[in-house]
Structure 1
Amino acid sequence: MAALYIGLMSGTSLDGTDAVLFDGGQLTVSGHVHAPFASALRDELLALNTPGDHELHRAALAANGVARAYADVVAQLLEATGTPRSHIVALGAHGQTVRHQPHGPDGYTVQLLNGALLAEQTGIDVVCDLRSRDVAAAGQGAPLVPAFHRAVFGAENQDVAVLNLGGIANLSLLHADGRTGGFDCGPANCLMDGWIAQHRGLAFDADGAWAATGRVSLALLATLLAEPFFAAAPPKSTGRDLFHPAWLQARLTAGVTPEDVQATLLELTARSVTDALRSAMPAVTRLICCGGGARNGRLMARLSDLLPGVQVTPSAAHGLPVDQVEAAAFAWLAQAFQNKRPGNLPAVTGAAGLRRLGCLYPA
């Protein structure tokens, strides 16, 4: 019987949950379901990214809400694929990041999820809290996907990079000599999504259409790129703790129209990614893109423009649709936990060594 796992991912973009049915032997996905968060839960998860009243109580309730949302999407996935729950070895569940402060001896990262409730609701073993052990070992706790990307996208004698364009952009560097690197680059969709929500009442800028109506403000772009995070050397990771609406608002100047800001934010993502990639992997020949931002045609075009000679393709061209890659990675991490294998790469996260990631809530 195939070693079947379910991967559950809800990322910084807060667009909902992706669930995949993952064959751990073949490293393939045979089913996928996406479910948006209920608006009240999404709003609360977004609010919990910043300090507020009654945080502990609200966070506990939100963790329950994430567990129930995950359980619902698991039920949908099992029904859609005709898979008995008894055939699933474990769920690899990311949880919803609301704080990411991995720096120093008191570093921490918080992904809201009641794993015990999820195990009760699904009747399947749950592997979750997959970032904390790496942080405890003085690592960044992110990105965790480069080892999985190596397994599914690595190529012999070729420098390949994998770019996840979620709320935050992160790169995996799959060197031709077998070395694997990676780091967070900066914002991908989180600032663009927030800006269009504020000014147009839309959840995201479909295909970069609104950005296409504006002009890039070179002065604003230079101000945004002056953020020290962009120049910092890896290992590094980030999130809404840094790149949030107030960060943007503090850097805006008069005379830049809302659509020009949107165009500039798209250019910020494209420039920060390509600058980082050229610096870290100058001989790169292929960039494989996944995450919601890979559906943004204007962003993909700018990446291609800024990387002449590099083949820029969506991950679907290499066997995994763009909205399935991260969920599959967390299924793979659950398999690593179950098989008592380390899941982190110290060269990526800066951890003191290889560590088995996650904790188990048995069914």
Structure 2
Amino acid sequence: MKYRLLKTLTTIFSLLLTVAGHAQITHDQAADKPTGIEIVSELKKPDTQQKLEEQDFSAYLLVYFKDQTQSAYFAVSSDGYTFTDVNDGQPVFRGEELAEQKGVRDPHIARGPDGAFYLAMTDLHIFGKQAGFRETDWQRPIEKYGWGNNRAIVLMKSYDLIHWTHTDFRVDKAFPELGDIDCSWAPEIIYDEKEDKMMVYFTIRYDNDECHMYYSYTDDDFTKLETVPERITEIGGIDGDITKVGDQYQLFYVSDAKIFHSVSDKINGGYKVEGKRIDPETVSTEAPNVFKRLGTDTYVLMYDVYGARPNNMGFSETKDFKTYKNIGHFNEGIMKTTNFERPKHGAVTYLTLDELKAIARHWNVDIDLE
């Protein structure tokens, strides 16, 4: 029942966006402002690059996407409260250039032990027909495969946020033993210390009904998944987000368009249903992401309040992952944006002061660098 409710909600949401958003697609995708990034065939690790600890960081990097463009964006913050888009509200990652379906969604970014940035996104354009990229609403029949029904994820790696490797990875082709999957959604990345590998975890749906979270390990260059995806947990849900806090792993995920929480002492197993909605919203939410306020014991839970009109990001703070303080939405509380609005499905990682300065110079960003 809960998966059918999720399917119904997302289908209605898609239809609403199609009606309201088609007029915006042509205008926004016509923007020709350079992205500021360069796709390269290989990366050379800088001689000075090393594993970074919390004390090395001084700033925050937000990656998000917009439905209007089916592309991804960067915003930076020196204090974790006020974020400024680096490319003046224009995409840094254009879906039409990176994805099989000519659209990207659900971006997630993380730092690895090599100091590199790892970025993963869903390869999916929900307006592909309206934008002229296909002749059908979805790549495959909605009656059999449901809403979205994509099969690829985008994998990218960089040391400087400017030069990136890029792979559009078809999960079903790489792992035929998975069978006829409906979709591969919302990939996220975490470093598994025990395996000394970057782990990508994402949602797979079968039979237009049942969604579960799966994990797989990548090669060192972050160009492919190397191990057959396995279930993280029997908990049904989507948009999983895992954060290591102390010796435990905090998992936030979505079911019935609400945010839920679970905890385990293992990175890819042992999570149990807790059964209590975590976010304070009364409308549909998705895409939880946790980041720590540097130099404090406070963690921020960010989520996409896609059921709001207009949509927005919501935020709650916690120190114990048991009690949460609602701190509102972007520009409706202490969290602010300066030159963009209506971000969707975002993730936050950290920057050194030198990295923030380099980004500000490269994209000509007006931000406090003290």
Q: Same fold (TM over 0.5)?
A: no
Q: Higher relative contact order by CA 8 Å / sep ≥ 6: 1 or 2?
A: 1
Structure holding more helix per residue: 1
Report the TM-score when normalising by structure 1: 0.30
